[in-house]
Amino acid sequence: MSKPAERINMGDAKKQAISMIRSYDGPPVRIMEVCGTHTHELFRLGVRGILPEQVTLISGPGCPVCVTPPDFIDAAVWLALEKQVTITTFGDLVRVPGSRDSLASARGKGAKVEVVYSPQDACTYAKEHPEEDVVFLSVGFETTTPSSCLALEQAEREKISNFSLLTANKTMPEAYKMLQGSADIFLYPGHVNAIAGNAVCQQLCRQGISGVVTGFTAAEIVTAIAIALSKFKEGKPFFVNAYPRVVKDEGSPAAQALTDKYLEPCDTIWRGLGEIPGSGLRLKEEYASFDAYRRYAIPKMEGKTSPLCRCGEVLQGKCRPVDCKVFGKGCTPEHPIGACMVSGEGACSAYYQYGGVIK
């Protein structure tokens, strides 16, 4: 039987990067992939299978679903069941557990939940259903937030008054500071940097925190790891943009301006990490009519998580999913207890689905 590797026709760059990674002979190093999409791809591609022993990958908190606290889900469920609001959402959030209900289980109790492809599709849904009150669950990081703002712009322009946002948008800079020390190198999320630019990463580098921003194809991921290892051996802090075909230093000024127009920084709670000052975004006062919190006077929610769940430590790279008592027992993708098991990007879900890695 042929060895799997011999059957694969690989591009030269991939081959070269893999060979550089395999031959890494530097000191032990921990690399944190910040972005959940990277976590997912690293598992799907079996990247751990090419890493030398002294290289450890840690899954970071960059999955908007995983870091969204349960009281956000509770608020959405409350809106749907108590205020008969139509909830529009990305598919990712539907199965996330709240204190009692997820949106999926609330649907069984009569909640109207529409899965949409984009925030603007949610706004268009509101336009086409003027008799319904429509709320979009606005989660996401720098990459996703401008899309929510485009939906607001559409609602303003077309005077769609039955549309509002329940915001839980987050930004990365403060989170990086909190995570420093969890890893030696960050793999930065390419699509966050495509919007926000590289300034924050360059600043972190000047403070001694190394990282490589990378894309999401197999070639890009292995190349970024090869670059990270090669630079790490040199012993000096570094920042490399390994995704210049999409990421420019300045990011997307248009997207930044749009976000600044509608939203302002606020303190926010990350599921598992607790409150990180200045790492959230909320609607500015002049757009209060689009703010579901104010519009529906949503009461304080319970926001209860299971005491057994260790998602918080998993998100900080302090423990592995398999170290959690409920992992794979009480907590599975079919019946998730913690958010990291819900999202396809969550570290627990990825560990569970891919069941470890075969070398």
Partner 1 sequence: MNDRVSLAHGAGGKQTAELIDKVFKAHFSNPLFTADDAAVFPVEAGKMAFSTDGFIVSPAFFPGGNIGKLSICGTVNDLACMGAEPLYLTCAFVIEEGFPMDKLEEVAASMEKTAAEAGVKIVAGDTKVAGKGQVDGLFITTAGIGRIRDGVSTSGAFAKPGDAVIVSGDIGRHGCTILLARDEFGIDAQVTSDCAPLWGTVKAMTDATQDIHVIRDATRGGVGTVLYEVAEQSGAGIRLFAEDIPVQDSVKGVCGMLGLEPLYLACEGRLVIIAPKEHAQELVDVLKQCPYSQDAAIIGEVTGDMPGRVTMVTELGTETILSRPTGELLPRIC
Partner 2 sequence: MCVGLPARVVNVKDGRAVVDASGAQKEISAQLLEDLEPGDYVMIHAGTAIAKIGSDDEEETAGLLDALL
- Residue 47 binds: one of partner 1, partner 2, none (C-beta under 5 to 8 A by kind): partner 1
Length of the chain: 359
Identify the residue among 47, 149, 160, 339 touching partner 1 (CB under 8 A): 47
Give the other-Cβ count within 10 Å of 50's Cβ. Answer: 18
303 binds partner 1 (CB under 8 A): no
227 binds partner 2 (CB under 8 A): yes
Is 330 within 8 Å of 338 (Cβ atoms)?
A: no
Cα angle at 175 between 228 and 89, to 5 degrees?
105
217 binds partner 2 (CB under 8 A): yes
Q: Tokens for 251?
A: 């990011």
252 binds partner 2 (CB under 8 A): yes
Minimum distance of partner 1 from residue 191's CB (angstroms)? 10
Specify the DSSP class assigned to residue 26.
S
Alpha-carbon distance of 162 to 289, in angstroms, equals 10
Identity of the residue, 8 or 297, whose beta carbon is nearer to partner 1 in the bound complex: 8
44 binds partner 1 (CB under 8 A): yes
346 binds partner 2 (CB under 8 A): no
Alpha-carbon distance of 276 to 274, in angstroms, equals 6
Specify the DSSP class assigned to residue 44.
H
195 binds partner 2 (CB under 8 A): yes
Pairing outcome for strands 185-189 and 163-167: unpaired
Footprint of partner 1 on this chain (CB under 8 A)?
Answer: 1, 4-8, 10, 14, 18, 43-50, 63-65, 90-92, 94-95, 104, 115-118, 121, 139-140, 144, 218, 222, 333-334, 344-345, 353-358
Footprint of partner 2 on this chain (CB under 8 A)?
Answer: 11-14, 16-17, 20, 34-37, 62-64, 90, 117-121, 140-141, 143-144, 146-147, 150, 153, 189-192, 194-195, 215-217, 219-220, 223, 226-227, 230, 242-248, 252, 254-255, 258, 345
